[in-house]
A = this chain, B = another copy of it.
Amino acid sequence: MGTTVTVWNEFVHEREDDDATAVYPDGIHRTIADALDERGFDTRTATLDEPEHGLTEDVLDETDVLVWWGHTAHETVDDSVVERVADRVLGGMGLLVLHSASLSKVFRSLLGTTGTLRWREADERERLWVTDPGHEIAAGVEDFIELAEAEMYGEPFDVPTPDSVVFTSWFEGGEVFRSGCCWRRGKGRVFFFRPGHETHPIYHDPTIQRVLANAAEWATPAVEDRSTPTLRNVDPCERIEGYSSSSESE
């Protein structure tokens, strides 16, 4: 396959909160990286407390798709790293944004919106309906994915209209949510996937893992040139009456 995925995690809850440790003893990033590794991706991980949050230029040079999980430490992420990641996405790197990372700086800066929503922790039932059955991210999923206990996210979700809403959630408590959303920015692709609270074993679910793998495949850069878009002063292709470009005049 040849796609390299870097799984980034703030990795705070799993070291400080017993409930999270019990579910993800080595961190959410480890569980996701293992799941993608098993499905044929080359994977690495990076966390908040590493130098440059583990997202140096060298690491990003070798990253085709970046997975982002954050919740409690969004504001701790350095702006220069945020900018670096966003630039890479514009140049073609894929980005999978998970759960509470709808409020991350990276996601907000690429979409231009707040990523805010309604929420509730009530261990309630969620059913993610496939609302774009022809989309590759839904491949292998039946009519819906059911999660026995989930945190609720409810509409309105403050994001630009997605190019596709692959999943739409029903919640026991009465709300709905666009839970799988695709956008493109520059040459890159962004997928937001709602499930995944730190105290629910959702990333251990094989169907959820399949969706993550589908999304990583979808977000793999489609063209070779990964340069960030730039401003360019250009000579004309056609002759313009009365004009000599600098290069022509030499």
B243–A124 CB distance below 8 A: yes
B237–A136 CB distance below 8 A: no
Which listed residue (B114, B154, B245) contacts A186, Cβ 8 A?
B114
Closest to A188 in B: B134
* A 153-169 binary contact with B (CB < 8 Å = 1; else 0): 01111101101110011
Binds B, one of A41-49, A51-59, A115-123, A199-207: A115-123
Q: List residues of chain B with CB within 8 A of the CB of A114.
A: 90, 186, 228-230
* A 97-134 binary contact with B (CB < 8 Å = 1; else 0): 00000010000011111101111101110010111111
Whether A170 contacts B176 in the complex (CB less than 8 A), given A119-B233, A129-B154, comes out as: yes
A170 to B237, CA, bound (A): 11
Distance between A99 CB and nearest chain B CB, rounded to angstroms: 14
B185–A160 CB distance below 8 A: yes
Indicate whether A2 reaches chain B with its CB closer than 8 angstroms: no
Indicate whether A37 reaches chain B with its CB closer than 8 angstroms: no
Indicate whether A67 reaches chain B with its CB closer than 8 angstroms: no
A70 to B236, CA, bound (A): 25
B112–A175 CB distance below 8 A: no
A243 to B149, CA, bound (A): 12
Whether A169 contacts B174 in the complex (CB less than 8 A), given A116-B230, A136-B223, A231-B119, comes out as: no
A118 to B136, CA, bound (A): 22
Indicate whether A39 reaches chain B with its CB closer than 8 angstroms: no
A77 to B230, CA, bound (A): 21
Which listed residue (B170, B176, B229, B236) contacts A113, Cβ 8 A?
B229
Indicate whether A178 reaches chain B with its CB closer than 8 angstroms: yes
B134–A222 CB distance below 8 A: yes
Interface positions, chain A 19-34, Cβ under 8 Å from B, are none
Which listed residue (B86, B129, B173, B245) contacts A176, Cβ 8 A?
B129
B119–A90 CB distance below 8 A: no
Contacts A/B (CB < 8 Å), 29 sampled: A90-B114, A109-B112, A111-B112, A114-B228, A117-B232, A119-B231, A120-B233, A120-B245, A122-B240, A122-B243, A124-B243, A127-B174, A127-B237, A129-B154, A131-B155, A131-B178, A134-B186, A134-B223, A135-B222, A136-B223, A138-B223, A155-B168, A158-B229, A160-B185, A163-B163, A164-B184, A169-B176, A172-B236, A175-B236
